[in-house]
Chain A
Amino acid sequence: MYKWTKNPESRSLPAGEAMAKWMKKNLFPTPAQSMLSIILFSLILKMLTPFLDWFVYDAVWLGSADDCRQASGACVAFIREKFTFILFGFYPREYLWRPIAAIGLFICMLWYSKEPSRWSKRLVRRWVVYVFLWILLMRGGMFGFELVPSNKWGGLPLTLMLSFVGIVFSYPFGILLALGRRSKMPVIKAFCVGYIELIRGVPLISLLFMSSVMFPLFLPEGVVIDKLLRAQAAIILFVAAYMAEVVRGGLAAIPKGQYEAGEALGLSFFQIMRLIILPQALKIVIPPTVNTAIGMFKDTSLVLIIALFDLLNTTKTALKDGNWLGFSVEGYLFVALIYFIFCFSMGKYSRRLEYELTTSRSH
C-alpha cells in the first residue's frame, strides 16, 4: 500500500541551521560559485561604503548652503529647503493643501481600484466624481475655491495628471487603432496604419512643439486653448500609437477558432470583440502595456521644453537658485527616487495583476 510521506526538504529546521543550509545551497554550492559569490559581495561592499559615507556620515542633513559646501557629503538640507517647490512648483503656498489633498485622494482611488473584483460601472462613476474633485481642488474658481490657473500648476500633481490622463485616454484609443489596423475595410485600415506609422516615426518632442507653437497659429483669432491641455493631447495621441501596436500583438495571439466559435453562436463582430477577443488579448499584453505606461510616465518630463513645470522641471529650477548652486547630484537623485517609486509600483502591480488574472482563471 502507498504510504503518504512528507517531502524531506520541507522539514522545519532551527533558524540558524536553515540559514546555513540555504547559503550552502544557493551561495556556496561549488568552489567556483563560492568564489563568484565572494567577489560579488566584496564589490557590493566596496560600492556601498563610499555611498554610505557620502549619504550618511559626511552628509549635511540640517544647515545652510555654506555648511553644505564645507562638508564633503550629500547636502540633504538642499532637498529639505526645496522639497515643497520640487513637489508643487509655483502653486500658491497658501493653498498648498489643495494639491496635497488631490494627490492623497488620487492615491486612495488607485489603491481602491487595484482589485479586479471592484472593476465595475460604479468604479467608473467614482472616478468621474474624482476627476471633478481634482479640477475643483487644483483649479478652483468655483464653490468658494480661489482660482489657480494651470500655468501655476507644477511638480508632482502635473506629472501625475499628464501620465494618468494620458494612459486612461490613450489605452482605449490605442485599442480602436489596433482594431482598425486589422480591419478588412481599406479606408479604415489605411487611416490606422498611416496614423500609427506617422506618429511612431516622429519624436514626442516634435509633437509637443507642434502643440505649443504651431497649433495655436491655426486657431481662429481669439480662441485660446490652454497650453497644458494641448500638451496633454499631444501625449495622448503619441502614446496611443504605441498602445495600438501592443494591443495588436495581443489580438494576433488569439486563435482563429475563438472568432469562429463566436460567429457560429451568432454573436456580432462587436460582441465577439468585446466579450471574447479583447478580454483575452488585453490580458496577454499586460506586461508590454505597463511597459509602455512606464515609458510614458517618464516621457512626460519632456514637457519641460515647452515650459511646463513638471517634476523634472521644478527640480531643474530649484537647482538654479543662486543661494543653493552646485547640488545637482542631490536634486537629481531625489527626483529619480520619486520616479522610481512610481515606476516600480506600476511594474509590481502589473506582475500581480497578471498573476491574479491567470490563477483565478487557470488555463
Chain B
Amino acid sequence: MSEMIIQMQDMNKWYDDFHVLKNINLEVKKGEKIVICGPSGSGKSTLVRCINRLEEHQNGKIFVNGTELTNNLKNIDLIRAEVGMVFQHFNLFPHLTILENLTLAPVWVRHETKDQAEEVAMGYLEKVKIGDQALKYPGQLSGGQKQRVAIARALCMKPGVMLFDEPTSALDPEMVKEVLDVMVGLAEDGMTMLCVTHEMGFARQVADRVIFMDEGQIVEEADPETFFNNPQSERSKEFLGQILH
C-alpha cells in the first residue's frame, strides 16, 4: 500500500511580482525520503515552507494526508499537527528548558498531561542521545545538540512527515555528522522525510528520490544513483560540478 501523504498540483507562488515557485507538481508517498537540492534562491526552502503554511501559495493545490491546504484555519491546524519541521537556525525557545521546549506543544496543542508529555519527551531526548541535557537551557548547548533537540521537539508531536530546511547549514563542520546520524536513524525507522540539504552523502545514503530545483521549477527528479552519476539537465550537471568539486 502506498498512500500519498503530500500532493502538490500545479502549485504557484509569488512574492509580489516575483514568481518564486512555478507549476510545482510533487507527490510524496508515506515512508518516502526525498532530498531537495538546488542553488540558493531556487525556491527549495519556500517549497517546503508551503507545506505547513509558513508561506502561502497563490494557486494550485496542496494536499497533506488528504486534507487540502486552504485558508481554512481548521485545515491548517490539522496539517500542522501532521507535519513536523526542523529549521536551519534551530529556533528553540531560549526562555524554556530543553524539556519544556519539547513538552510545550504536546501539552497546549494535544492537551496531554505534563507527566505524559515529559515521559514521551525524555524518550525522544534519549533517542537523539541528549537525555542528560533535559534541564539545561538552549543557550548552554552546542549547535549540533540544539539541532538534535529541535528534531526531538518536532517528533514529540508524532508527525506523519518531517520537513528539514537546511538542518546542517548553520552548524560547525564537526557537528554536522551527529545531526545527520540522527536523521539517518529516523529514516531507518520509516519516517516520511523531505529534506532541503546539500549533504550529498546523506542523499546517497537515504534518499529514495532527489529533486533538483532551479529558478522556482523542478528541473530534475531521479533516484540518487541516477542523479549523481548521470544527471540529465545542464543545470544539474553544472550544480553538481560546483558542489562535488
Q: A residues touching B (Cβ–Cβ < 8 Å)? A: 255, 257-258, 260-261, 263-267, 271, 275-276, 279-280, 283, 361-363
| CB contact under 8 A between A261 and B93, given known A266-B81, A266-B105, A267-B108 | yes
**Chain B, range 133-162, C-beta contacts under 8 Å to A:** 137-140, 153-154, 157
* CB contact between B87 and one of A260, A267, A275 (< 8 Å): that residue: A260
The distance in angstroms between the C-alpha atoms of A361 and B101, with both chains bound, is 13
| CB contact under 8 A between A361 and B137, given known A266-B81, A266-B105, A267-B109 | yes
Of A266, A279, A283, chain B has the most CB atoms within 10 Å of the CB of A266
Could you tell me if B95 and A280 are in contact, using CB atoms closer than 8 angstroms?
Answer: yes
Distance of A38 from chain B, by nearest CB (Å)? 46
The distance in angstroms between the C-alpha atoms of A264 and B93, with both chains bound, is 13
Select from chain A the residue with minimum beta-carbon distance to B136: A362
Interface string of B61-83 (1 = CB under 8 A from A): 00000000000000001001101
* B193 at interface, CB cutoff 8 A: no
| CB contact under 8 A between A264 and B139, given known A271-B108, A361-B95 | no
Of B80, B94, B104, chain A has the most CB atoms within 10 Å of the CB of B94
A266: chain B residues at CB < 8 Å are 77, 80-81, 105, 109, 157
Select from chain B the residue with minimum beta-carbon distance to A276: B93
Distance of A326 from chain B, by nearest CB (Å)? 56
* CB contact between A283 and one of B84, B95, B153 (< 8 Å): that residue: B95
A264-B52, A264-B54 given. 11 additional CB < 8 A pairs? A258-B91, A260-B54, A261-B85, A263-B53, A263-B54, A265-B80, A265-B104, A266-B105, A267-B104, A361-B139, A362-B140
B153: chain A residues at CB < 8 Å are 265
B84: chain A residues at CB < 8 Å are 264
Could you tell me if A258 and B93 are in contact, using CB atoms closer than 8 angstroms?
Answer: yes
* B198 at interface, CB cutoff 8 A: no
Select from chain B the residue with minimum beta-carbon distance to A261: B91
* B30 at interface, CB cutoff 8 A: no
* CB contact between A362 and one of B52, B139, B157 (< 8 Å): that residue: B139
A279: chain B residues at CB < 8 Å are 95
Distance of A127 from chain B, by nearest CB (Å)? 24
The distance in angstroms between the C-alpha atoms of A53 and B140, with both chains bound, is 56
A362: chain B residues at CB < 8 Å are 137, 139-140
| A and B contact pairs by CB, cutoff 8 A, 13 listed | A260-B54, A264-B54, A265-B109, A265-B153, A266-B80, A266-B105, A266-B157, A267-B108, A267-B109, A271-B109, A275-B108, A283-B95, A361-B95
* CB contact between B137 and one of A267, A271, A283, A363 (< 8 Å): that residue: A363
Select from chain A the residue with minimum beta-carbon distance to B104: A275
The contact size tier of chain B is: 20 to 34
The distance in angstroms between the C-alpha atoms of A95 and B101, with both chains bound, is 54
Distance of A277 from chain B, by nearest CB (Å)? 10
Select from chain B the residue with minimum beta-carbon distance to A360: B137
B235: chain A residues at CB < 8 Å are none
The distance in angstroms between the C-alpha atoms of A280 and B137, with both chains bound, is 14
The distance in angstroms between the C-alpha atoms of A261 and B84, with both chains bound, is 10
A363: chain B residues at CB < 8 Å are 94, 137-139
* B89 at interface, CB cutoff 8 A: yes
The distance in angstroms between the C-alpha atoms of A284 and B241, with both chains bound, is 47
Could you tell me if A260 and B80 are in contact, using CB atoms closer than 8 angstroms?
Answer: no
Distance of A280 from chain B, by nearest CB (Å)? 5
| CB contact under 8 A between A257 and B87, given known A267-B108, A275-B108 | yes
Interface string of B107-137 (1 = CB under 8 A from A): 0110000000000000000000000000001
* CB contact between A257 and one of B53, B80, B89 (< 8 Å): that residue: B89
Distance of B161 from chain A, by nearest CB (Å)? 12
Could you tell me if A265 and B95 are in contact, using CB atoms closer than 8 angstroms?
Answer: no
Could you tell me if B54 and A280 are in contact, using CB atoms closer than 8 angstroms?
Answer: no
A260: chain B residues at CB < 8 Å are 54, 87, 91
Select from chain B the residue with minimum beta-carbon distance to A269: B73
| CB contact under 8 A between A264 and B83, given known A271-B108, A361-B137, A363-B137 | yes
Interface string of B24-67 (1 = CB under 8 A from A): 00000000000000000000000000001110000000000000
Of B52, B92, B93, chain A has the most CB atoms within 10 Å of the CB of B93
The distance in angstroms between the C-alpha atoms of A258 and B52, with both chains bound, is 15
Select from chain A the residue with minimum beta-carbon distance to B108: A271
Could you tell me if A257 and B91 are in contact, using CB atoms closer than 8 angstroms?
Answer: yes
The 9 closest A-B pairs by CB, nearest first: A363-B139, A261-B91, A265-B105, A257-B91, A264-B85, A266-B80, A266-B109, A266-B81, A279-B95
Distance of B6 from chain A, by nearest CB (Å)? 15
The distance in angstroms between the C-alpha atoms of A258 and B54, with both chains bound, is 12
B140: chain A residues at CB < 8 Å are 362
